[in-house]
Structure formats: C-alpha cells, structure tokens
Structure 1
Amino acid sequence: MDTLDPDADPLDRMRYPVDPWELRETEPPVADARTAETLFAVGNGYLGIRGTSPEGHDATSPGSYVNGFHETYPIHHAEEAYGFARVGQEMIPVPDATVMRLYVGDEPLHLPVADLEAYERRLDLRSGILTRTVVWRTPSKVRVRVVSRRMVSFTRPHLAVMELEVTPLDGDLGLTVVSTVVNRIDAQTALAEDEAGDASLATPLQAELESHPAGPVPDPRKSSKLGAHVLVSTHLGSEGTCTSLGYRAAASGMTLAVGVDHDVTADGPISQYHEESPDAATREFRTRARSGSTLRVVKYAAYHTSRSSASSELAQRCRRTIHDARDVGVDGLVAEQRAWCEGFWARSDVEIAGRPELQQAVRFNIFHVAQAAMCSAGHGIPAKGLTGNGYSGHYFWDGEVYVLPFFSYTTPEVSRSALRFRCTMLPAARRRAHEINMSGALFPWRTINGHEASANYAQGTAQYHIDADIAYALMLYVRTTGDRDFLTRDAIDMLVETARMWADLGFFRTDGQDAFHIHGVTGPDEYTTVVDDNLYTNIMARGNLRDAVAAVRGLRRDRPEQYARMVKRVVLKPDEVALWEHAADAMAIPYDEQLQVHPQDDRFLTKEVWDLPHTSASDFPLLLHYHPLVIYRFQVIKQTDVVLAEFLHSGEFTAEEKARDFHYYEPLTTGDSSLSAVAQAIMAAEIGHDAEAVGHFRELLFVDLADTHHNTDDGIHIASAGGVWSALVYGFGGLRDDPAGGGVRLEPRLPAAWEGLTFRITVQGTRVRVELTHGRIALSVEEGPGTRIEVCGTSYDVSPDSPVVISPQPRERLGEMPTLDDIVGQVRADGTVITPRLPSRSAHH
C-alpha cells in the first residue's frame, strides 16, 4: 500500500478537479486507463458496466457484469485431502452492449490517437450518469463535437441506456454510427489460446522461473482465468428493430439473454444496415448532417439471467424491458434516475464542512457502495461490486461487517435483501458443515452460488467467523429497523444453525471453572492462521450464541405458534439453548496480565515481532514477497482482529482495555488489507488520537481514487468504500449500537481540524439528522415519528417538533501514537524480552 502524505492531496487536481458532486476528468487516461475504467463504472447492484469508451477499440479491460452470473470450474489441488473445496466459481462478463463506433466519412474516432481540442468525462453523483464530451479535429481537419452518455437504471434493474450525440462544427459531414453488442469473453479466450500456442511467448515466463525459483507470485486478489470457451449460443432473434442474443454458460448451466434497440434522430434521412451472428449483433446508422445539427442515437440494452429458464424466454423479458423503457423515453428515464438519486442522498449523504476535496471523495465512495448493492435482490454484494472481476466476483464476510451497517441505517431494505439471500444459502451451508464433520451450518468463506470456492482452507474455510459475521449483521438490521417479523419468519433458522456450529466446534475445559475454547480457526488477520482461541472469533461467536438464545426464547414467549413451527423445522432439542448460553458465558477471552493486552490468539504474543519500520517499501504487501510460513512465525498483522472485535462489541471492553490494545497492535499492522484502516480509524477516534484517526480515514477515502493498493484496475474495493461511511459515522460521529451498550449511542469525536460533520441515521423508521460542530451537537427528525438516542451518556427524545441541541464537554485529545519502540523491550510472561527482527531475505532481497 502506498503511504499518503497527510499534508498533500493524493489526486492530480489538474486532471481530477475538486467538485463535491462529480468525479470529473479533464484529459484522456493513458498509463492508468484500466484504473480509470473502474473509477467511471456505472451500475445498480444487478448490472454493472466499466467506464470504457463507447468506441470500444481502446478499452483496456472491457466488462459488463450481471450479479451472480458465473461459470464454474473444477478446483485442482496438487495434494488432495478430505473436505477440500471442489468447484470454483468465476463471475464472467456478459456480452458488451456499450460499443457505438463513430465514423466521419471513413475516418474512425479512436481516442488514443485522436486530435482532441477538448475532452471531459464526468460521473455525476446526483444522477448516476456518465457523460463524456470531446471536440475532435478529424484527419480531414474538420471539427466534430461528440457527447456520449451512459446510465444503468436504479429504477429498472435490467436496463442500461447509452446515448451518442454527434454535431459537425465546420460544415456538412457524412456520419456513421456502428452500434454493436458483442460476446467478448469467448473472443478473448480464443485470442489467449492463439497466443498460448506461440512458443516465443513462453520465453519470458521461463526466464522468470529460472531467476526466481519460487515462480512468479500470482496476486490472490485477482480473478482466476477460465481456459475454455464459456458462453454457448442458444438464441438469436429479432422482433421489429429489437435484436436479442441468448447464451448458456458451458459448465454452470446459467442462462442469459441480452436485447438491444435504438431510437435515432437527425435532420436528414437515415439509412440503416444490420447484421447478426451468434456472438455479435450490429446496427449501422448513416446520415448526412448539416453543420450545427445533431445526430442522436439512443441505445437501450436489457439483460436477464436465470438458473433454469431458457434463454429464449429471457429474450422475451428483454424485449418487454426495452419496450417499457422506450415508452418512457430517454428523458423520462433520466428524470426517474435523478429522482431516485435525490432520495438516496437525502437518506445517505455525509457532509464534511469546509473540505470540498474530502467531500468529493466521500460521496464517490458512498455512491459506489450504492452501485454495488441497490438492485442486488436475490444475490450477494461482490467484493469489487460490478466494476470489475477482482476476487472473481465472490461474496465474502466483509459485506456483512463493512457494507450492511451503512444500508441498515440508510436504506434498510437493501440489508434485508442481502440477509434474505444468506437465508437461501442455508441448505448449502448445512451440507458444508456436514462435509467437514460439523453440526449446524457453515457458510462459505467465498462464494457466488452458495458453495465454498476457496481452495486455501487455512485462509478460507478456517475463517469460521463468517457465521458470526452474518449473525451480527442480521441482529444489527433487526435492532435498527425493529423488523422482528423477518427474524422470526425467515432468519431464525440461521441463528439456530450457526449457534449449533459454534457449540460443536468449541469445547469445555475445566480449570477451576468452566471455559469454552475454540481451536483451529483463522480470524480476519490472514497473516496468522489456524490458531486457538482467536479473540475476534471468540468474541463474535459469543455474540452469535447469545443472539440465538435471546431470539429463540423471545420467539417462544411472544409467538408460540411460530416457535413450534421453528422447532419442528430445525429439530431443536430441549437442551440445546441452555448449552449455547453456557458456552457463551464460559467463552475463553484471552488476556495477558504481564503485557496487559488481549492476545490476538493464545500463542500470538509468544512470536517474534516483525520489524516493520525497517522493512523495505518494496516488500509490501508481505503476502506477495514472503512465503506464508515465514509470515505466520511473526507478530505481524494484515488487518486488526482485536481492534475490530473491540469496535463491533464495544460495550464488552473498558476504555482502558481498548486504548492499551490499540497501542500494542497499531505498530504491528501493515495496512496490507484495504479493510484494516476502518477499525483503526474508528478506534483511534474513540481513544482520542485525532491525527491517527484522520490519517486512517484518508487511507480509506483514497484506496481507489489514488489506487493506493495498486489493484483498483480490478474493481472498486466495496467494503473499504463502505468503511468510509463507518469511519465517519462510527468513528467521528461516535455511533455505537452493540447490544451490550444498550441501544443507539452517540459520543462524537469531531477532528480538531474539521469545521463540522453532518450525517443521517434511520432508527426504527425515524430518520435523524446529526449535525456536529465544536461544542455543539444538534439532532433533528427529517422523517418519521421520533426516537430516543443516548448522547454523551444522557438519553434524549427527538421528534419532528422537538429537536435536541447539546453542548458536550470537551474531549481529551491524546498526543503522538506509541510506536514499535514502545513495545520493544517489554517482558513477556515467560521472562523473554520483545525484540524486533526481520526474515533473512525477501523476494526482492
């Protein structure tokens, strides 16, 4: 990860000017074109389109994606073992409908070599519309203004609209627009197969293998490569001017159809030509345009997918989607989109007073979270959204921990939909638990279709905490919305089965008193794997068990008929709930009396400390330069397990414990995970380290805009984007909502250098506006009847007629953060002295 200068703006403001409501680009991307395609992607949670140019020629990484549409492939393990994951899943690009090539006479607009008198590209965060405007001086020395717009509808999940306006500026011109939908994935596969047959291309790889015996290090964050033809053509049809293509994924059997149609206007006659084949459909529009007049081509594209329906039936759905859209017209669709976005920002906006450069980045991140999830009903939230196929389009735990809190407080129906999707995965999770000799249910570490897709069990299946993460997100949603019906009707089975898993995974050991231990697990910190009594896992498991106990007993008390149905459905035994309660109460929570910190696991503090200050910058991230066994031998952290646990279950730790743990683990944390800065920013703010909190917040804020982890080209980091909201609202806003804390609480920690912070949270149907300035906290109801919120230790009733204004006592602000030097020299419980060191060599040295 690149380290940001705290006093410098990480963006080139000549290229990306500050604008609080837009991401605007003033010159075409060259060296970082793939990254720019990610930043300017548009989507809605069902359909996503990377920010490629409409000409298509210069797209470095084209991609249109439909959430959940994937191919499968066998996972080949060099050495087999029982229970290993068998079938991999890969989100695959769907046919690309964005291509609209322009010819002036016979001269094509090709952006990398075009003579451009003007260029601007804008992603308008108030409308979700991507607009590019260029003035092109053609090789014939005539100028043409070309405006392209692209929108993926938030109100019509299956619809994308592209628009091209071409205006001659220096005389009458012959114009041609070639609009295409093309199955790129199989064209790219064929090209790759051709290149693989060229023996000369093997030479660089062979040289690399000889110079570096461990071989080139594949980046595990990137997608896998499918080595065969993927989409089998099953439909090709036209109805009027609407053309549709249908496919079946060769191995997964999923079906897909895409349909396209056009509206074309000009001040003169328009001639048309069309051609279709199984992997492409083209329509060509020609006209003679007068100087100052505009040729306007509007392209409607619809996508539908299924696990069972024939592609011909999906093609009919596409035609209906397009027919309805054309009835409304492009102007009506834009009006719908703007109205939707206005409502979204009314619920979701977070405002930093007097800091427009931060404001722009905040809204950029929040908007991409919306694009990843808003229309995702029936699916999960991919780690990179639909902006690229990084992480293969898989769903992980971070959706529940870093993304759903934002939606639970702003657009709770999205959280409900995501959690409902987890409910549909429960049968597969039960089978997976049985497969690895467990009771209950174990949700997959990474998946698209509900089956485990991680081939690395130490960093995958061993992360049992995903069960508790899902339960945590579920109960947060229930607490913030009051939606007990969803819990008792749909989600209670998940709580029961995850509690069963913990009760079976752990065991009691008596040493004066009962203690419940959980061994052989991996926490979120993937630089330490398969350990005993991982603090994060044990804390989250305890919460999961207690939530299950409370939910089952509450259902028995309040809804006995539904309780009886649940008991029959999950075959709940009379003594199970008491066992869960005993396990939760007896949960082993490690604590080191000598160092006065909570160990990350029961052996973590016995390891040598990695000397991070003396680690070469070229050796980060460590996972790409050191063998895992080397990393596992050290106290070194990819992301902060202990600090994250103490944030999520804040009420279970004292302020002193949180401060001591934060001071110990902060110098050991590499920042190699884009997620780590979320908890670091929140806890630094709570403890009182202003500069450290703002520094970690900036790390989150510019993960993608500044490409600090060098993999934004594979897609937006959706969880860290959600973490931006968490850092602002949980961190500087001081929101806490864990059960042990007694409900929604605010303890604001506004940074000294900020003028003010405003955000909204919706609590059980009431949207509250929170305005923070130095020495003043104001609460007002924007929508709903009112609610009760605790602020700085006192509860207040806030209603539409009774806003609340508070003048809190000033909070203590701490000085400089402890460093590794403050850890070095401390004596462990066994009498050994903590001394930092480095491995003898890295991949670079």
Structure 2
Amino acid sequence: MKNYIIHDPWHIIEDQFRAEHNEFSESIFSIGNGRMGQRANFEETYSGKTMQGSYLAGVYYPDKTRVGWWKNGYPDYFAKVINAVQWIGLDIRIDGVLLDLAQCEISGFERRLDMKAGVLYRTFMAKMPCGAVVEVTAKRMYHLFQSDTASLQYTLRVVNRDAAVSICSYLNGDVINRDSNYDERFWVPIAEDIQDDLVLVTETKKTKFRVEARLRNVFYVGGVAQSSGSKRKETLYVGEELSAHLKAGESIRIEKYIAIVSSLNHPLDKLTEAAQNSLKQIASKSYIELIQLQTAAWARIWEESDIQIEGDIAAQQAIRFNIFQLNQTYTGEDARLNIGPKGFTGEKYGGVTYWDTEAYCLPFYLATQQPSIARNLLLYRYQHLEKAIENAGKLGFNNGAALYPMVTVNGEECHNEWEITFEEIHRNGAIAYAIYNYIRYTNDSAYLTTHGLEVLIGISRFWAQRVNWSEQKQRYVMLGVTGPNEYENNVNNNWYTNRIAVWCLRYTLDVIAQQQTQQEDRLYALLSKLQFKEKESALWLRIVDNMYFPEDNERGVFLQQDGFLDKELIPTTDLPAEVRPLNQHWSWDRILRSCYIKQADVLQGLYFFEDEFDEETIRRNYDFYEPLTVHESSLSPCVHAILAAKLGKEDKAYEFYLRTARLDLDDYNNDTDDGLHVTSMAGTWLAIVEGFAGMRVRHGKLHFRTFIPKNWQSYAFHVQFRGAKLFIKVKQEDVEVKNLSNTKISIIFNGEQLLVEPELKS
C-alpha cells in the first residue's frame, strides 16, 4: 500500500516528487472527458520511470494474439485502445541544457488534481545541472464542455540568473504501447503541416482510423505575447520553437490549444474542417475563460452525482475521486462507446469492454444521469448482437444463440486467455441482468420490444444449448466453466453461472408473457423474425425446473462449484502478509488448488438475486465465503460491503467500503501503476447508496434502509427515479429526504411508506 496522497475533500494532492512511484502518480492524476484522456505524464522531457499514455475513445488496433497453442474458436487478435498523438510535449532548454526532472535537484514539487473543476495542476522548483534554478507552474484540461479539445498552460521562470531559454512545443505521432505484441507500431503518417497551426494527420494500420490533431501555440515572454516561433516537420512530428533571453526573475509562458478529431466521428473529407472549427472555438478564449467553462461543466455533473460525507475526509476524498473518474471516462453521448476497466489511465485490459459495465456501472448512471445515458450502454450491446451470434457460432452454437464477448471493442471476442474466452460465460448473464435492471428502474418497457427482448432471446438460446442433461444427477448441468472467481478455472456447475442462466431463461419467458398482453403485434413480429418456436419455451421451462445447483446441506450453503469442499479450507487470516497479493507471489498452479476466492462468486449471485433468498441463507453463505476471499479483484469489496450492510455487519461494511473507495488512492493491490480500476469505482458508489443507504427497487418503488458509519457525522446523495430527483441525507440522529423535482414520489424509507411532495413547482 501507499499512503502519500494527502487527504482533501476536493483535491488529489502529492506534495513531493517520488521518482520511484511516478507511474503510480501518473495513473492517479489521469484526466479525460469521455472522448479522450491521458495519464499525468510531464509536459517536459522526463527520462525516468514513466508510461506514456494518451488515448482516444473508440480508436483501437487489433493487435495479433500471441499464444503458444492455438485452439479452434480462438480470437485472432486482442483489440486495444492504443496510444495516440502525444500533444502535451515540450522540449525546454536552459542555456542549452534540457530540462529533465530525472537530472535535477527538485524542491517545492506539488501535483494537484482539482476534481471540482476538472483541472490538473503541477508546480515545482528545479536546480539544473547547469546551475540554473527554474520555477514551473503547469495547468492542463481535457475540456468537458467540448470533448474533442484540450489545453494546457505552462509557465517557467528562471529564478537565480539570466539565461537563454528555448521551448519547443510539438505533436508526436511516433508512439507505441508498452504492451504491444512484437513491439508493433500502430500508426502510419498521412500528413504533416506547419503553415499556420501545427497539424499532424495519422491513420491506424488495419482498422484505418484517421486522426487529425491540430495545435495552436501562444507564447508569452514577460507577459507579452510573441509572434510565432520557428517551425519544423518530420515524419509523424511537427514542432514550433521559441527562444528568448530571460533576466533573473522573468518568465516565459506557453499555452497549447489542441483539437483532435477522428474518422470515427467525421467523414474523411470533413476532418480538417471539424478540427479547424473546434480549435477556433477554444483558441478564441483566454485560459481563465476556459477554466471557467470547465468548472461550470463539472458543476453540472457534481450537482447530480456528488456524495457528501461529513466527519471522514479520507472517505469523502475517495468517493469523489471515484465519481470523478467515472464521469470523465464515460459521458454517455455516444452509444458506440463504453467503459474500459482502465478508462483513459493505462493500457492494461486494452481499454475495451467487459461485463463490469453491466454489473457495476449501469446502476450508477441510472441513478445519477438521465435514462438516455444508461440506455446507450444497453444499445451498445444491442448493436453488437449479430457479432455475439457469430461468436457463439464459432464455438458450435446455432439457431441464433448469442454469446457476448468477455472482451470487445466492436462486438467480436478478442480476449487472449482460453479459460476466460471459452469458459467465463457468466458474462452473458450480466448483459441480460442489465436489461432487467434498466427496465425495473426506468419503467421503459418499450425498450423490450424494440431492442431488449431480441438480446434476451439470443442469450437464452445460448444457455439452452450450453447445458446438458446428466443421467447420473437427473438434472441439467453446466460443465467446463469459469465463474466470477478466476482463481478457479474449468470447473463443473459453478453455482453462480447455473443460477444466472436459469434466471435469464425465466426472465425471458416472463418478458414474452408480459409482451403478449401489452405489445402483442410487435411481439409476434419479433418472434416471427427470430423464428422462435413454442418448443423453445417448453425446453427453457424444463431447464429452469431441473437445473442442478451444488449445495452443502450440512453447512446450509451453496457450493461455488462441484468439489469445492475437497479443498483445504484455510481462512485468509492465516495467510502471511508477505504472500499477499497471491497473484504476485504464488504460482498459478498453487492458486488454482487453493480455496482462495479472487472476488465475490456465490455472493455475486446473492447480491443480484437477494430477493429470492431469506436473510439467514444469505448470512450463512456470507459467513462461509467471506473469510476465504482475498479481494484481489477490484470488483470484490463493493459486493461484500453491500451484503455486510444488509446483514447488519456495519463495521465490515465500512471496512469494505474504504477498501473499494481507496483501492487506487492507497494502491491496495499494488497494481495501480498500470492504470486505475475505473469500472470498479462504480462499486464505491454502490457501497454507499445500496450498502449504507440500502437503496433497492421493488415492485416499482424505491426502498431505503439506512445506517451510518460510527465515525461519520452524515452522508448525502442525489438519486433520480422515474422523473423524480431525491436528495437523501443520513445523519447520526435523523434523516432528511427532499424531492428536488416537480414529480411527487412514494418511497419506502426504513420500513415506512413516505409520499415525498415536490419542492419545485411546475
């Protein structure tokens, strides 16, 4: 763990430069705007430990899969969101010596992320090898108000003597991913231009995404604007340099305004026009005006999604950090985009889509944004339904059976581990559950006949073909799967997978029955299109009624899979601290043979389907599995926090909240260097709203059952539900509920029905 991030309610702050942890800090201080983003790399040259990272949402490369043993059905490539043009770069020389913090004596260093305004700041004093002392202040933004643009301001003052200073501002397209297979480069040059603005046009190999980056530099010396500097261009590079002789105490400043547009969003013949227009809009404003626009845009976000905690600054900082990263990763403006597990903060997982979105992120957007935002997440999967059917076909399934990919950017499976690609099929269930979650929350039942039911039928057809009848058990079984606990591979009858398969089949049949009474004509048109036969319904019902679920009747718990009790059950409290995390110390063979659980598995099912089980059943399973869980997946602590809260284990709920909330800020799993755990950040929000506040949707109504951690004075949040907007504040002694809309709403609050009248008058 690391603990040098200073606790502050609205800022992420490090107060000195720690070269050995620079990559960790680059992740923590990452910024973005839903369309693009970047790790907190330095503007000036840095020869120390760093990982370059600038990313454009939806622009990807199919990096060739690299495995030793090919298997039928294996994806040909691993799609990844790739490093894009490096636009922040500055080569700075003082008396001919390059400014490089790896070669300087540094003092007064601070890096600060203002989450309220969405601005990254950095200041430092550096004594260079040539003896010059320089003071630097840098500001950087990815504009939330205009998502194809960004800007930075960089001010340098020579403190101790006169000096010759040169600043070269550039665009560099010769970039590479650290995890590139065979060290392949992804970009080819199309054009470089330095006539007016600096312009770099590049294109990805294979996928042919065309990107135009257009940069305008404005230089100031001693506060006076300068005419443009000398320009030069090379292949995949354009730069502009200004030189000046500064007296001691004088400063030089550069402001960089960038527009980056791609063929994902514009026709090829309109790229230049789009870039020119976007750049013109931001370059016409002062940097103060840009910060004001950025602050206003973030204020609108915070008005809907902020959670306020009184009495615990570490917890307050953590929840805001998680909410900030979620909102700068995904804004919902484009249904072709989704939420990568690392967002714009690193390369791991390729920046592409996992089941995390549906299982963890959707509830956050449902409650804090307009329904169209969550609907776009569902449409993303609907648009990929044909690819999901193709994915299933490659594995031998037919008749429209759909298997959604474990990892994707365009609907095709591109994961490169066989035990995940072929076996972790429970992800299909998360897609179906997201449809259910969206419908019960928004009551947008029309979505079912236009989009949702088609997806549900494809998924259900997959489950019906994936099970087989066991003569020995006289039950349907599911063989050779991997459940959410990836510390078990190729197991039989994973309880969660079997449970969610049965739930999917039953829910799909329920939707069909419902639509027969509400949208009969549309329903029959859809069923005819899909060639849905009555015999399919009959088979699905047989599977629902006869699925096998492993249990231990003596303990009264559901077994994670067949044979789980053959393991030596040693609680995690008996593990020496020096072997944690296990995945960084034990062999994979040893992990697979152990009883240790990477993340909630059986408990994931009890979280999703808690209304199907009584509280004592949930308690027995929680008490059995929680001591065996090492939480080495970022997705694990939040589920445990929610269930602990439900069971009245308030201390445990708070412990797991803090672990999920500060997972990255404190680097619990020693893996934040390669990027943040963005999708699990939604779990932090869930831990408070569904955990501490106990929010549920039952029979079309919001229910709350609240508690407050002992060391908090209060916590407060907003939720939107079917046109109403509630403000909930939970204090040690009482609660406050307000309706900040013009729609009245009836809720169940701590067991009592409340009619909450609007405070806003229409």
Superposition TM-score, scaled by structure 2 size: 0.92
Partner of residue 228, structure 1: 184
Please name the residue that 2:441 is paired with.
480
Pair 1:123-2:113 in alignment: yes
Q: Deviations over 1:542-593 (max 9, x none)?
A: 3322332333333343234432442344333344345445544544444321
1:791-825 Cα deviation digits (max 9, x unpaired): 2333322122499xxxxxxxxxxxxxxxxxxxxxx
CA contact (8 A) 1:609 1:635 kept: yes
After TM superposition, give the deviation of residue 462 of structure 1 in Å.
1.0
SS at match of 2:147: coil
Whether contact under 8 Å (1:246, 1:315) holds in the other structure is no
Matches of 1:556 and 1:299 in 2, distance apart? 59
1:420 and 2:379 matched: yes
1:266-281 paired onto structure 2 within 5 Å: 266-267=223-224, 269-270=226-227, 272-281=229-238
1:50 to 34, 39, 44: 39
Residue of structure 2 aligned with 1:35, choices 13, 16, 24: 24
Alpha-carbon spacing, 1:178–1:678, altered in 2? closer, same or farther (3 Å)? same
Give distance in 1, aligned partners of 2:162 and 2:226: 14
> In 1, are the aligned partners of 2:17 and 2:106 still within 8 Å (CA)?
no
User: Which amino acid in the other structure matches residue 473 of structure 1?
Assistant: A
Q: CA deviation at 1:55?
A: 0.3
Letter in 2 for 1:131: Y
Residue in 1 that maps onto 2:393? 434
Equivalent of 1:793, from 722, 744, 751? 751
Question: Residues 571 and 336 (structure 1 numbering): CA distance in 2 closer, same or farther, change over 3 Å?
Answer: farther
CA-CA distance at 1:421 after TM superposition: 1.4
- Counterpart secondary structure, 1:458: helix
Partner of 2:664: 704
Give distance in 1, aligned partners of 2:742 and 2:518.
Answer: 26
1:760 and 2:718 correspond = yes
List alignment gaps of at least 5 residues for structure 2.
Answer: none
User: Would the aligned equivalents of 2:424 and 2:483 in 1 still touch at CA under 8 Å?
Assistant: yes
Measure how far apart 1:61 and its partner are. Answer: 0.8
Contact 2:440 2:700 (8 Å CA) reproduced: no
Q: Secondary structure at the match of 2:502?
A: helix
1:363-402 aligned at under 5 Å gives the runs 363-374=320-331, 377=334, 378-402=336-360
Give the drift of 1:170: 6.4
1 CA distance for matches of 2:493 and 2:587?
Answer: 24
Q: Does 2:462 match 1:470? A: no
3-state SS of the aligned residue for 1:36?
helix
* Cα deviation 1:665-701 (Å, max 9, x = unaligned): 1111122222211111111222122222222222212
Query: What are the within-5 Å matches in structure 2 for residues 123-522 of structure 1?
Result: 123-136=113-126, 144-167=134-157, 174-186=164-176, 223=179, 225-238=181-194, 241-265=196-220, 266-267=223-224, 269-270=226-227, 272-287=229-244, 295-306=252-263, 313-374=270-331, 377=334, 378-411=336-369, 412-439=371-398, 440-507=401-468, 516-522=476-482
Offset at residue 509 of structure 1 (A): 6.2
In 1, the alpha carbon distance for the partners of 2:734 and 2:366 equals 26
- Which one is further off, 18-27 or 270-279? 270-279
Structure 1 pair 480–249 and aligned structure 2 pair: CA distance change class (3 A):
same
Question: Aligned to 1:544, what secondary structure does the other structure show?
Answer: helix
How many angstroms does 1:384 deviate by? 0.7
Aligned to 1:684: 644
Q: Does structure 2 conserve the Cα–Cα contact (< 8 Å) formed by 1:256 and 1:311?
A: no
User: What's the offset of the Cα at 1:57?
Assistant: 2.5
1:133 aligned partner, one-letter code? T
Question: C-alpha separation between the residues in 2 aligned to 1:56 and 1:311?
Answer: 33
Asked if the contact 1:674–1:720 (Cα under 8 Å) also holds between the matched residues in 2, the reply is yes
Residue type of the partner of 1:435? Answer: K
Task: Decide whether the 8 Å contact of 2:65 with 2:76 is kept in 1.
Answer: yes
- Equivalent residue, structure 2, for 1:102: 92
Instruction: Report the counterpart of residue 11 of structure 1 in structure 2.
Output: 3
1:626 deviates by 4.2
Q: Secondary structure at the match of 2:20?
A: coil
Alpha-carbon displacement from aligned partner over 1:767-791 (angstroms, at most 9, x marks no partner): 2111112342321112341322222
SS in 2 for 1:744: strand
| Aligned counterpart, 1:750 | 708
| Cα shift readout 1:467-503 (whole Å, capped 9, x = no counterpart) | 1101212222232233334443233321221122112
Contact 1:104 1:173 in 2 (8 A): yes
Aligned to 2:12: 23
TM-score (norm 1): 0.83
Q: Give, in whole Å, the separation in 1 of the partners of 2:307 and 2:429.
A: 29
Matched, 1:523 2:483: yes
Cα contact 1:46–1:67 (8 A) shared by 2: yes
- 1:602, distance to aligned residue in structure 2 (A): 3.1
Q: Take 1:291 and 1:784, find their aligned partners in 2: how far apart are those partners?
A: 61
RMSD: 2.9
Mapped to 2, the partners of 1:323 and 1:570 lie a distance apart of: 50
| Pair 536,784 (structure 1): closer, same or farther in 2 beyond 3 Å | farther
The worse-fitting range, judged by mean Cα deviation, of 567-576 and 361-370 is 567-576
Distance 1:392 1:607, change over 3 A: same
Alpha-carbon distance in 1 for matches of 2:750, 2:483: 32
Match of 1:88 in 2: 78
Deviation digits for residues 640-668 of structure 1 (CA, Å, limit 9, x no counterpart): 21112111211111110111101101111
Distance 2:759 2:387 in 1: 50
* One-letter amino acid matched to 1:233: P
Please report how far the alpha carbon of residue 432 of structure 1 lies from its aligned counterpart in structure 2 after TM superposition. 0.7
Following the alignment from structure 2 to structure 1, what is the Cα–Cα distance between the partners of residues 493 and 526? 32
How far apart in 2 are the matches of 1:455 and 1:627? 19
In structure 2, the CA distance between the partners of 1:335 and 1:569, relative to structure 1 (3 Å rule), is farther
Query: Quick one: structure 1 residues 610 and 252, their matched pair in 2 at CA, closer, same or farther if it must change by over 3 Å?
Result: farther
CA distance in 2, matches of 1:554, 1:234: 55
**Alpha carbons 2:94, 2:132 under 8 Å: kept:** no
* Distance (whole Å) between structure 1 residues aligned to residue 586 and residue 165 of structure 2: 56
Report the secondary structure of 1:438's partner residue. coil
Return the alpha-carbon distance in structure 2 between the equivalents of residues 232 and 675 of structure 1: 38
Contact 1:41 1:49 in 2 (8 A): yes
Structure 1 residue runs of 5 or longer lacking an equivalent are 3-9, 190-222, 804-845
Aligned to 1:66: 56
For 2:726 and 2:446, how far apart are their aligned partners in 1?
24
The letter for the 2-side match of 1:358 is A
**C-alpha displacement at 1:407, in angstroms?**
1.1
Percent identity over the alignment is: 26
Specify which of 665, 685, 689 is matched with residue 725 of structure 1. Answer: 685
Q: How far apart are 1:226 and its partner, in Å?
A: 4.3
* Corresponding residue of 1:604: 564
The alpha carbon displacement at 1:744 in A equals: 2.6
Q: Could you give the per-residue CA deviations for residues 315-363 of structure 1, whole angstroms, max 9, x where no partner exists?
A: 4432232122224454433222211211111111112211112211221
| Distance 1:417-1:793 versus aligned 2 partners, 3 A rule | same
The answer as to whether partners of 1:154 and 1:374 remain within 8 angstroms in 2 is: no
Q: Give, in whole Å, the separation in 2 of the partners of 1:263 and 1:564.
A: 63
Cα 1:147–1:627, aligned 2, differ >3 Å: closer, same or farther? closer
Partner letter of residue 165 of structure 1? T
Measured in 2, the distance between the counterparts of 1:634 and 1:359 equals: 37
CA distance in 2, matches of 1:230, 1:363: 35
